Copies of this chain bind each other. A is one copy, B any other.
């Protein structure tokens, strides 16, 4: 048996008359009036093979009759022009008149069908992942992911960033999400932690003077999983010295533009639009707004401050907000029952209820319509640009609750009502994030990102006096309502860092206990630096048009962080635990 001369995606009319050798998987075979047709598949495509009972060698015909789906075969034959061409196949103008055919490897009937679409259950797909990955769309997804990573690397290499590997066996830190731990055999009673991100190491690379660092880094978080979370995930991690925020944003935009160009052949517009965090929350109720459709949230406190509707007036008097979205032209699409379902939906986001009004035949209708006078109605109509058949949905609550509830509702309606082209790619920045979050229970401020995030120049003066006013030099890049990632400039001056710790209520000793070696490092000439980290899995997921990360991860875990194929995690021997000086808890 020889090497193949071609792959299964490349033969064209120009090859007619050539003798070729191919290898691959049987995607389909059928016997049609004494002629056996076989679709031969590999990573590159499908080629049609023909074994004619009247002209073919008896042994070859017998083999051809024997092959079944997913057999691996070798074939030799002459390229001929097809009588009835298939314009849907790249190789559809030709077929192979088979002169030799050998079975390389047989296949039992596969538990999932190897085809573009599948109706197999998620668990079956994961148990037989090696077959699921044979499906052409999964092959395309994984190859697209490869291209995403290569394009990112190519961009960064060209721009003088150095790929530096940082350790996986690290020290557990009390901040952040839950760590995956690794018991140490050599140091009884001690543990490594798998990295949640290479944050501290990339900052140390800046202290080391590498100036431009990157890494495609595997990261780990032991948290309960959702569709867009996996216990291990991959991020492109970048850090740069002597760079301004503007330079980091531009670099990121250039890099992502190159990725989209390479993967989708689309030129996206730069610069990306920017929203301040406050603006994003005000208009879209989200720190990762989906701006592919309008339906912006409006604050109606001015309209309702003297409202006849007590709930609205009372909320405003107590310092809350009345906010609403206008579902344009949808009044007739939503029955009371539908709206009840939406009410249940917003309650998940802590809203106490969902008030509504329909505007039909020139007037508002709905259970609360009677509370509003003419002027109030006119103001509302004006504020919300109300037209015939519009549906208004209101949440009256604490400002943050109105944002969360209406933001989520807006996203849901945008999707339900198909208000956007799912193929559109809508990149944007969210900037000027709060530097601190105030925790009412603990009565203190926490770092919104981490304590090395830099306050921006405009609000730095409030650091020790009114921390709540401080904005960070931090930025998130958002695509179609998904956070792709984010970053910040870091603090590199000791006095500023001390002020930051003071604002967080840390004594110098406490600060040192938690971040000692990084603070030590900062003593020896630290350049200004900043960076960004973007989720590779998520970028790939959106670019292939999937809604689950498992579609772009070759061997992902289930929602319970297990792998049905290998049965990981599993029980280990007593001897292994003994060596690690640990035992199971009774």
Instruction: Note all chain B residues with C-beta closer than 8 A to A104.
Output: 527-528
Copies of the polypeptide in the assembly? 2
On whether the beta carbons of A581 and B585 are closer than 8 Å, the reply is yes
Answer whether residue A171 sits at the interface, using C-beta atoms and an 8 A cutoff: yes
Which of B139, B188, B553, B562 contacts A209 (CB under 8 A)? B139
Residue of B nearest to A234 (CB): B165
Answer whether residue A133 sits at the interface, using C-beta atoms and an 8 A cutoff: yes
On whether the beta carbons of B105 and A527 are closer than 8 Å, the reply is yes
Q: A569-B169, A583-B582 are in contact. Are A525 and B70 (CB under 8 A)?
A: yes
Instruction: Note all chain B residues with C-beta closer than 8 A to A105.
Output: 492-493, 525-528
Residue among A42, A162, A209 having the largest count of chain B Cβ atoms under 10 Å: A209
The docked-state distance in angstroms from the alpha carbon of A469 to that of B143 is: 42
Answer whether residue A137 sits at the interface, using C-beta atoms and an 8 A cutoff: no
On whether the beta carbons of B192 and A130 are closer than 8 Å, the reply is no
What does the 1/0 interface line of A567-586 toward B look like (CB < 8 Å)?
A: 11111110011111111110
Closest-CB distance, A573 to chain B (whole angstroms): 8
On whether the beta carbons of B555 and A167 are closer than 8 Å, the reply is yes
On whether the beta carbons of B150 and A204 are closer than 8 Å, the reply is no
Interface residues of A in 104-125 (CB under 8 A from B): 104-108, 110
Instruction: Note all chain B residues with C-beta closer than 8 A to A134.
Output: 208-209
On whether the beta carbons of A222 and B185 are closer than 8 Å, the reply is yes
Answer whether residue A371 sits at the interface, using C-beta atoms and an 8 A cutoff: no
Instruction: Note all chain B residues with C-beta closer than 8 A to A578.
Output: 585
Answer whether residue A316 sits at the interface, using C-beta atoms and an 8 A cutoff: no
Instruction: Note all chain B residues with C-beta closer than 8 A to A169.
Output: 180, 220, 231-232, 557, 561, 568-569
On whether the beta carbons of A576 and B211 are closer than 8 Å, the reply is no
What does the 1/0 interface line of A141-170 toward B look like (CB < 8 Å)?
A: 011001001100100010000111111111
Q: A146-B163, A163-B150, A553-B165 are in contact. Are A525 and B107 (CB under 8 A)?
A: yes
Q: Can you sample 6 A-B contacts with CB below 8 Å?
A: A41-B209, A171-B567, A179-B576, A180-B192, A583-B583, A583-B584
Q: Which 10 pairs show the lowest CB-CB distances between chains A and B?
A: A133-B208, A107-B525, A171-B568, A190-B569, A70-B525, A184-B569, A130-B207, A192-B569, A130-B204, A107-B524
